[in-house]
Amino acid sequence: MKLRTELIGSGSSVNRDLDLVIAGGGPAALAAALYAARYDIEHIVLESYQPGGQAALTALIENYPGIKTIGGGDLVAVMKEQAESWGALFEMSSVISADPIGDRIQIKADSSTYMARNLIIATGAAPARLGVPGEEKFYGRGVSYCATCDAPFFRDARVLVVGGGDSAVKEALHLSEFVSELVLVHRRDKFRAEPYLAEKLLSCGKCSVNWNTTLKEIKGDESVESVVLSTPEGEKELKVDGVFMYVGRKPATEPFANLIDLNDNGTVRTHDIVHTSRENIFAAGDVTDNKLRQIVTAVSDGARAASAVFELLQ
Ligand code: NAP
């Protein structure tokens, strides 16, 4: 308990020796924090400047068992409150690097450095960029990766959504409550998204889906004015006020690239769900190569990882 008091009142740039550092602030990290606190493991959670991770940017969660519907931000806020009520400690600081030193891991974050016996990587994933001309130029000026954050700016506008997965369809449904017209383009002729979500989108009056269609370019002067699409009938230009991209996610694993084995797509290579190529390093949630990426699986990973750390410390 002494250590915890020191941590709460301490300044920055101090090497602190802990049993566990949890990197990340989404559901996986929050569950790991809850379990670590209840196991009384000396720990700190290094959450980035986007607390709650991707889940916090999801308008509506309808598949978290036990709660019929809840906003993503509300769900992660309750998770954090619950973890803190058990003594979980948080610091708003992004991990910059992690290096093995003896039997410890040195974790450098924006404002501090920690030496830890164990590390749980739960840094999640950020929206992938499509890489088309105009995407960077108009980011924040009509190009967005977050309908939950930006939908109110597109009231009565015509928008394009790119992608066919759960994120694209779910966020398109949220956007449709604001915009006057929504066009979704998907590179194939079949959604990857849950059928329930797909059916909802297909029956949304102001939404249309262009199959086998890709986005080639985003055009405009100060902000987005139109897009160039490659369709089965050839290229066409469509006037739109905004473009929302949901073409997958990029795992946030750069700081750990030299520490543990990663897959070609950047995810952490795991075995037995949360174990990595190092005995004292665990991974949880969207940062892993586990197939199902849901809030319910992220919290399960977080709990398993904290439990594995507890066992190692015995
Ligand atoms: P995702 O499932 O990987 O879907 C990405 C979509 O973008 C796919 O439809 C893909 O097309 C398309 N795409 C990828 N690269 C493209 C490119 N270069 N050009 C055009 N289209 C491209 O990603 P996500 O939707 O962000 O979901 C990530 C994970 O989170 C998934 O496991 C998902 O189930 C989960 N999630 C769940 C919920 C939920 O409420 N249950 C909500 C959000 C996310 P193809 O289909 O042709 O590959």
Position 2 pLDDT exceeds 50: no
Query: Is it the case that residue 60 has pLDDT exceeding 70?
Result: yes
Q: What is the predicted pLDDT for the residue at 131?
A: 97
Atom of ligand 1 nearest to the CA of 190: 46
Q: Is the pLDDT of residue 1 over 60?
A: no
CA distance 209 to 117: 51
Active site residue 150: yes
In sequence order, the 6+-apart residues with CB closer than 8 A to the CB of 266 are 250, 251, 253
Query: What distance in angstroms lies between residue 193's CA and the mean position of ligand 1's atoms?
Result: 7
Mean pLDDT computed over every residue of the chain: 93
> What spacing in Å lies between the alpha carbon of 66 and ligand 1's midpoint?
25
Can you give the pLDDT at residue 14? 54
Q: Which one of the listed residues 17, 74, 99, 149 is annotated catalytic?
A: 149
Question: Using 50, 70 and 90 to split pLDDT, how confident is the model at 49?
Answer: confident
C-alpha of residue 284 to centroid of ligand 1, in Å:
19
Enumerate long-range contacts of 129-136, CB under 8 Å, 24 or more apart. 129/245, 129/250, 130/162, 130/215, 130/245, 130/247, 132/215, 132/216, 132/217, 132/218, 133/216, 133/217, 133/218, 134/217, 134/218, 134/219, 134/220, 134/224, 135/218, 135/243, 135/245
* Confidence check: pLDDT of 51 > 90: no
Digit-coded pLDDT (tens) for 239-287: 999 999 999 999 999 999 999 999 999 999 999 999 999 999 999 999 9
272 catalytic per annotation: no
pLDDT over threshold 90, residue 231: yes
Is 11 a residue whose pLDDT tops 80?
A: no
- Asked if residue 132 has its Cβ within 6 Å of ligand 1, the reply is no
pLDDT at 9 over 80: no
pLDDT exceeds 80 at position 15? no
| pLDDT at site 16 | 79
